[in-house]
Amino acid sequence: MKNILVTGAAGFIGSNFVRRALKLKSDWRIVALDALTYAGNLENLKGLKESYKERYAFVKIDIRDKNGVFNLFKQEDFDGVIHFAAESHVDRSILGPLQFVETNVLGTVNLLEGARKFFKNEECRFLHISTDEVYGALGDKGAFTEETKIDPSSPYSASKAASDLFVLSYFKTYRLNCVITRCCNNYGPYQFPEKLIPFMIKRAIDGEPLPVYGDGRNVRDWIFVDDHNDGTILAFEKGNKGEIYNLGARCEKRNIDLVKLLIEKLKVFLKDRKGFKEPEIAFVKDRPGHDFRYAMDPSKAERELGFKPKVSFEEGIDLTVKWYIENEGWWRRIISGEYLEYIEKQYAKR
């Protein structure tokens, strides 16, 4: 049995990962670590202990706490780390960058130190989950490859780029067995309703206007969360030491087109719901430093890892919109105190 530490396990991608990996990898035991910040929710991991018993454990640790991290490494004898934990929301990083430096940079280095000091041999792997945002913005043409120079625009992406550089330095300096994946925009169940897709669904259901930044022509490249997580497992198992792999599904959409598609889907799925009205789009002040376009070239992962996304955009969006309609209780329980304060700060004056 391999003993794997998964950080950020109660967040959107992390919780989907833990559920999927426990199902697909019967020789993995997963220690799911999370500090349970505003974005971490134990409800996302519900039922796993009952289903997987000793193959699953949850620990509440903040990765900024070096001693907490080291104690866990001493106790557990990990075969690998899959590191998702991060402050992940660009708009929040613009409102307050420091927390992003603390968690994304210092927290990552604490984990790297834990791995450097306590991994039992050089086969033990550290997989760092990064993002296309480290490459900055594209114009109308082209796509990011692993050779594209990093050029982050937001405090969030700068903190992720810094953490990537630390990971690469641990490979070069200490020969720690590190791999980095950089993925495009994920969507799917359990995504916190501050990110574009779940936020728009929530607002539409609540009859609120849908705030589109700028003119809505910015482009994002989308992947269903399970496809990202299958790529994560492949990179963990087959990636070459010290390498970076871009993950994406070649699925670019302009924000405005995506928001209009969500409205069309909701009109179909909610046609019988009393009081549901077609939501209005409100063009609001742009995000400062808003990257125009992202597009990932995942050829290296396809070629070297056999990475192949399976879920079409049409299928994934239907599944996601239905999930948010059927799991209204899940997001209603989240949108209280801290969430409302954030929404006020972020949108009131736009």
**What residues between 26 and 85 interact with ligand NAD by CB under 6 A?**
34-37, 39-40, 62-64, 84-85
Q: Which residue among 34, 133, 226, 302 is the active-site one?
A: 133
- Beta carbon nearer to ligand DAU, 211 or 242: 211
The answer to whether residue 286 is catalytic is no
| 212 binds ligand DAU per the rule CB under 6 A | yes
* Integer Cα distance of 104 and 205 in angstroms: 33
**What residues between 142 and 181 interact with ligand DAU by CB under 6 A?**
none
Report the amino acid identity of residue 326.
Answer: E
Q: 10 Å Cβ neighbour count for 340?
A: 10
The answer to whether residue 76 is catalytic is no
Give the HSE-up count for residue 269: Cα atoms under 13 Å, Cβ half-sphere.
Answer: 19
Residue 185 CB, nearest distance to ligand NAD (Å)? 4
The answer to whether residue 122 is catalytic is no
- Beta carbon nearer to ligand DAU, 114 or 189: 189
Q: Which residue among 34, 79, 87, 132 is the active-site one?
A: 132
**What residues between 18 and 77 interact with ligand DAU by CB under 6 A?**
none
Indicate the pairing of strand 219-224 with strand 252-254: antiparallel
**What residues between 306 and 345 interact with ligand NAD by CB under 6 A?**
none
| 131 binds ligand NAD per the rule CB under 6 A | yes
For the chain, list the strands marked E by DSSP: 2-7, 28-34, 56-60, 80-83, 125-131, 177-183, 185-187, 210-213, 219-224, 244-247, 252-254, 281-284
* Paired tokens of 311: 């879920």
Report the amino acid identity of residue 245.
Answer: Y
* Integer Cα distance of 61 and 63 in angstroms: 6
Q: Which residues bind ligand DAU (CB under 6 A)?
A: 88-90, 131-133, 184-185, 195-196, 199, 211-213, 218, 220, 255, 287, 294
